[in-house]
Amino acid sequence: MSSLFEPLTLRSLSIPNRAWMSPMCQYSAASDGPDAGVPTDWHFAHLAARSLGGVGLIMVESTAVSPDARISTTDLGLWNDRQVEMFSRVNHFLADQGTVPGVQLGHAGRKASTDAQWLGARPVPPHEGGWPVVGPTAEAVAPGYPVPAELTAEQIRGIVADFAAAARRALAAGFKVVEVHGAHGYLIHSFLSPHTNRRTDGYGGGFAGRARLALEIVEAVRGVWPDGLPVFFRTSATDWLTENPEDERTGWTVEDTIALTKELAARGVDLVDVSTGGLVPDAVIRTGPGYQVPFAEQVKRATGMPVATVGEITEPAQAERIVASGTADAVLLGRELLRDADWVRRAAVELGVEPAWPLQYGWAV
C-alpha cells in the first residue's frame, strides 16, 4: 500500500490521495470590464488536464478578494457573481473526475498591480490600468516599485470583510477547500514579518500584534465556511533572512510559524501549507530537492497540525518517502505538474498502485 495514495480525511471531506496541485498563477484572466478576474478557457483546460491526470486536490491559484487585491492585472478574482458562475463550471468538472477543488484566497498588498510574470512583473501604474497599493507600512517591496499607503484600521476591517465575502462566493462556486494566502510577501505575510511591519498600533509591534490580521481573516473565513469542510493556511515558514548568518535583518522564522500554527489551530484551521520566502527579492535561499520539507516537518512535529509541503518535489519515490515517514501529510506539486499533467498517474504505476483512469481512456490501459 502506497502512503501517497491513501485518502486523507479532514473534517467530513475525504481527499482521495496525498498528491495535490499547488496554486500557481496563470495570469490569464481579463484585466478589466465584466470579465475581469473571470476564469477563462485556459483555466478550464489547465485545471481539467491535471484532474484527468489523477491529482487528489487542485488548489486554484491565488484568487483576489477584491479588484485591488490582485497581484497582476490578469489575476483571477472572487468578488462578483460572474466569477462564481464560471468557477462553478470548472469545479463541476473537477468533482466529476474525483478531484477535490480548492481555492487560495489572497490579497497582494504592496506586491499588487503588476504585469504578468512573463512580462517582467513590472509595476503597472494607475494611469496604465493599475491601482494604488497598500501595506502595513509605507515601504516599497523593492527599488522602482510604488510606495504603499499604510492601511488604516478601518481599511483593515474592510479587507477582513472582503475575505469573508470571497469565501462565501467560493462555497457558492463549489469549492470544498478554502486556503488563506499568508505567504510569499503578500499582504498577510507582510503584516506577520517584523522586517516589513513597523506599525505601532494594535496591528504591529510584537508577535500578537503582527499576527492579528492573519487571525482576524481566518476567523472571518472560518465563520462563513461550513463546519464540515476544511480551511487551510499557506505560510512562509521563514523569510530566509535569519537563515543566512550574513544577513543582519530580522524576519519571520520557523519558530514564529510554529507559534502562529498553534493560534490557527485554535481558530479552526485544519492544515498548514508550508512554503518559504517571497518577502524580499534579495533574500539568499538555499534550494534543492525538497528544500522546504524540513520546515514543514518542524511545524508538524511541534504542533501536531496536519501539514502539506512543497518545493522541488519531482519524483514519485521522493513524494512517497515524505508522506510515508510522517514528515508531511501531503505534497503539493507545482512546476512538475506543469511539465507533466499525468505525473500522479505515472507515480501510481511506479509505486505499484493501480491508477484510476477516466472511463473514456480505459481502452488505453
Catalytic positions are 186
Residues 6+ apart with CB under 8 A from 143: none
Q: How many CA atoms lie within 13 A of 26 on its CB side?
A: 23
Measured CA to CA in angstroms, residue 140 lies from 117, 190, 266, 271 at distances of 19, 11, 33, 31
**How many Å separate Cα 27 from the centre of its chain?**
15
**Residue in 259, 242, 255, 252 with CA at minimum distance from that of residue 184:** 252
Gap between the Cα atoms of 154 and 246, Å rounded: 39
Q: How many CB atoms lie within 10 A of CB 270?
A: 18
Do residues 54 and 361 lie in contact, with contact meaning Cβ atoms separated by under 8 Å? Answer: no
Do residues 197 and 204 lie in contact, with contact meaning Cβ atoms separated by under 8 Å? Answer: yes
**How many Å separate Cα 224 from the centre of its chain?**
19
Give me the helices (H) in the chain, please: 41-52, 81-96, 153-172, 187-192, 207-224, 254-266, 293-303, 316-324, 335-339, 343-350
**Residue in 292, 285, 349 with CA at minimum distance from that of residue 317:** 349
Residue with cell 513590472: 122
